[in-house]
Amino acid sequence: EIVMTQSPATLSVSPGERATLSCRASQSVSSNLGWYQQKPGQAPRLLIYGASTRATGIPARFSGSGSGTEFTLTISSLESEDFAVYYCQQYNNWWTFGQGTKVEIK
Amino acid sequence: QLQLQESGPGLVKPSETLSLTCTVSGGSISSNSFYWGWIRQPPGKGLEWIGSMYYSGSTYYNPSLKSRVTISVDTSKNQFSLKLSSVTAADTAVYYCARHSSAFFDYWGQGTLVTVSS
């Protein structure tokens, strides 16, 4: 099983600032990685797939990068609706998720 | 617009079988090249893929749950179902059904909380 490890567990950021979230795979997943946003009481929403391709309707302030075992999700300028939990997910071998990073208001 | 809706008991006793159904509307469950899967999320924790069924009928299960999981489909009702046997308190979670490709999960149900307790 490929284990996905996200850091940090919690990120405190002020509105308008940049947020950088990390995801590491226990073995290479190539670019077979997605990012999801989850708000309380809601299902996850796909943000990024293929490590760097934004899903339909996702604002340009969300960007993804990386390949192999190291990946980054960057939110360039946080807006109020971006405070949520973010999960990475690999699909190179079955489907596994990271444990999440909570982005909270500083 | 594709919509998915989970249904089933919210309370299951330890050692019994958890059974959930996902009803799909706005599209056919027999659509080419899509998987129909189940994901769960224990309270305050992360997401765990449980298993999926390909449109052709092939099933794929998380190795850690494989011995207890069965996913089946009823194409006449545009539904697919999850059975998880021998449940314990560790199986308490919000259970989501979702459509996915070989890659990402793009449509999700709203989720249903299942509590395992006597």
- Predicted confidence at residue A104, as pLDDT, reads 96
The sign of the dihedral angle between the CA atoms of A70, A63, A41, B34 is: negative
Q: Which residues of A touch B (CB under 8 A)?
A: 1, 32, 34, 36, 42-46, 49-50, 55, 87, 89, 91, 94-100
The mean per-residue pLDDT over the stretch B43-50 comes to 94
The Cα of A91 is separated from the nearest Cα of chain B by a number of Å equal to 5
Q: Does the beta-carbon distance from A43 to B110 stay under 8 Å?
A: yes
- On the question of pLDDT at B31 being above 80, the answer is no
* pLDDT classification of B102: cutoffs 50, 70, 90: confident
* pLDDT classification of B56: cutoffs 50, 70, 90: confident
Q: pLDDT tens digits for A5-63?
A: 999 999 999 999 999 999 999 999 999 999 999 999 999 999 999 999 999 999 999 99
Q: Does the beta-carbon distance from B49 to A96 stay under 8 Å?
A: yes
- Predicted confidence at residue B32, as pLDDT, reads 76
Q: Are strands B112-116 and B11-12 parallel, antiparallel or unpaired?
A: parallel
Q: Is the minimum CB–CB distance between B105 and chain A shorter than 8 Å?
A: yes
Residue matched to tokens 């449980």: B50
* DSSP category for residue A93: S
Q: What percent of chain A has pLDDT over 90?
A: 98
- On the question of pLDDT at B5 being above 90, the answer is yes
User: Are the C-beta atoms of A77 and A26 separated by less than 8 Å?
Assistant: no
Q: Is the minimum CB–CB distance between B100 and chain A shorter than 8 Å?
A: yes
